[in-house]
Amino acid sequence: MEETETCRGPSRRTLLGGALAGLGGSMLSTRMAFAAERKAYSGDTLVVVSLHGGFDGLSAIAPVGDPAYYSSRPAIAVPKERILAGDGTFGLHPALAPLLPFWRSGKLAAVHAVGQPNPTRSHFAAMETLENAAPGTSVRTGWLDRMLGLTGASAPLAGVALGHAMPARILAGPADDVSMAGIDGFTLAGDGRRPIAAALRAMYADAPAALAAPARSADRALSAVGTVKEAAYVAGATYPETELGAALRDVARLIKARAGLVTAAVDCGDWDLHEGLGAAVEGQRMYDNLAELASALAAFATDLGDAMRNVTVLTISEFGRRVQENGSHGTDHGHGNAMLLLGGGIRGGRVYANWPGLSPGALVAGDLAATSDYRSVIGELLQKRCGFGDLSGVFPGVRPTRFGLATAR
């Protein structure tokens, strides 16, 4: 049994020379882990989709019952007649139509007015804090790395970042994880023509554990991916031909291959819509972005079928958008936002929120107030779906929400 480490210090990465530098368009990060053996992880596979750029939750989950929504966004607010699954207070953007069956079946929900405790409108600062998720502490690892380490998972593909654009810090830390552009392109540069992998194994065979661990972890990951590749994969749904679609298809492939996946991180960018966010019609930027997101998530859930009962997908973004539209029919950096939750254990078909309202007196410097910490939302899912009790090892000082977002496993 591979040993794992509970310390949350800096990652002790080792670059295995030039041999691992060209992983077929992929990047392999290997980390050492030391700790006592733990009970095998039996919680949900947690899939985190990062909506980089500042997701406009006020468009995706429109507060149609708040009069200030329409007065603040005369050109870009979603008309009430175009809203899906409206309940008089909130409704889904029409571009989310591919997800409507999951909303109606209770597998998709949203949480509104969420955000970070220390708001900033800087992409860099907000993303760093979002992925570290431990502001005001000395913790420098990523929260998903901490979550992975505490599960005790030892499979070489327990933690995976998939896609060409990857969350930079969310998996930073001592737990083993792998970053790759895609399963089929994940190879050791030069191997095949020359026995590079065999040479690395021989090179580190008698090395001290501190030096050999990264090489052995790399070798295990390559072997595990090779096993997944050998199994013919026929998706149970048609994925959109987008980077997000390809990444989620590979996540589904790992889950169905029973490769030991505990958590996956996927990036979905292009949400920084300062201009041309547009009306809620096809061909406008927000509509098309949401349609791509919805079709990829819907394909993923359809592909997994019954396996979705043990999977939870959540979306996060560094910040929301301002309530008032700007002169370019877009929105500038804001604060409060919305999250999407998808999974077999989600109590869906509704929007969870401590809604502060959009009247001028309720705003924070022109922004939707964040009445729920995004970490508290994730914390409730970690407890209900991933088997966590105390959250301090993942989110120091954070208490979970009590929305009742999910059923307990």
The pLDDT assigned to 40 comes to 86
Task: Specify whether the CB–CB gap between 11 and 276 falls below 8 A.
Answer: no
* Beta-sheet pairing, 263-268 with 311-316: unpaired
The pLDDT assigned to 164 comes to 81
Task: Specify whether the CB–CB gap between 9 and 174 falls below 8 A.
Answer: yes
Residue 130: closest CA among 156, 164, 169, 76? 169
Task: Specify whether the CB–CB gap between 169 and 131 falls below 8 A.
Answer: yes
* Beta-sheet pairing, 263-268 with 159-162: parallel
The pLDDT assigned to 140 comes to 95
∠ CA 389-117-62, rounded to 5°: 95
The pLDDT assigned to 192 comes to 60
The pLDDT assigned to 10 comes to 33
What separation in angstroms does the CA of 380 have from each of 106, 341, 400? Answer: 18, 12, 5
> Scanning the structure block, which residue is given the tokens 């800096």?
10
Residue 340: closest CA among 262, 261, 263, 268? 268
Domain ranges of the chain: 17-385
Amino acid at residue number 205 = A
The pLDDT assigned to 17 comes to 32
Buried b / exposed e across 334-370, counting CB within 10 Å, b at 16+? bbbbbbbbbbbbbbbebbbbebbbbeeeebeeebbbb
The pLDDT assigned to 189 comes to 62
The pLDDT assigned to 33 comes to 33
Tens digits of pLDDT across the chain (409 residues):
333 333 333 332 333 333 343 343 343 443 333 333 446 899 999 999 999 999 999 999 999 999 999 999 999 999 999 999 999 999 999 999 999 999 999 999 999 999 999 889 999 999 999 999 999 999 999 999 999 999 999 899 999 999 986 656 899 999 989 999 999 988 776 566 556 667 667 777 777 876 767 777 777 888 899 899 998 899 999 999 999 999 999 999 999 999 999 999 999 989 999 999 999 999 999 999 999 999 999 999 999 999 999 999 999 999 999 999 999 999 999 999 999 999 999 999 999 999 999 999 999 999 999 999 999 999 999 999 999 999 999 999 999 999 999 999 9
In the CATH scheme, what is the code of domain 17-385? 3.40.720
Task: Specify whether the CB–CB gap between 179 and 172 falls below 8 A.
Answer: no
